[in-house]
Amino acid sequence: MSRRALLVIDMLRDFLDPAGALYCGDQAAGIVPQARRLLQEHRQQGSLIVFVADSHPPDDLEFQLFPPHCLTGTPGAAPLPGFQPRDGEHWLTKTRYSAFYGTELADILRRQQVEEVHLCGVCTSICVMETCSGLRNRDLKAVVHQEAVGDFDPQAHAFAIKRMRNILGAVLEP
């Protein structure tokens, strides 16, 4: 039996709370119940759980493209209720779009002999798609849960879903 993992990407206050610094909008925030359900299912099934969280210093160059958000140690960088790691689960901070860039994610997946990685979170067209690409580059099966990923831009979301399916070979689940 292959080992499965669930990556919970950027389920953070600054993205999904209407008062957040870079709120992704009501459509994106609408994924929260589905992402919680998916997290619960994977916990019950014994999947490896990895939370990946944007975390930036105040002078991060990303702020040339986007307003400051998820500043390290601030309430905006904190997870939404229900998305805190439990014992044995991982919390990785990242400063770039891909969950692989500058993190231990590749090592964790390799050590745990993970072959199939499920994805949920925001934003579909940025961090989810870039992480999916990183999985493909490592020959790992990616499963994207469409009802548990969201974006501030509906057209970008649709493009990302299509690209992950057609170019990256991701399996799309409801």
CATH number of 136's domain: 3.40.50.850
Residue 96, number of CB atoms within 10 A of its CB: 16
Residue 57's domain spans which residues? 3-173
Per run of 10 residues, the mean pLDDT along the chain (length 174 residues) is 88 98 97 98 97 98 97 98 97 98 98 97 98 98 98 98 98 96
Measured distance CA(142)–CA(135) in Å, rounded: 7
41 phi, psi to nearest 5 deg? -60, -45
Say if CB 118 and CB 141 are below 8 A apart.
Answer: no
pTM for this prediction: 0.97
How far is CA 42 from each of CA 57, 102, 155, rounded to the nearest angstrom? Answer: 32, 25, 29
Measure Cα distances from 132 to 20, 21, 87, 114 in Å.
25, 25, 26, 14
pLDDT for 2 equals 59
Q: What is the pLDDT of residue 1?
A: 44
Total domains, the chain: 1
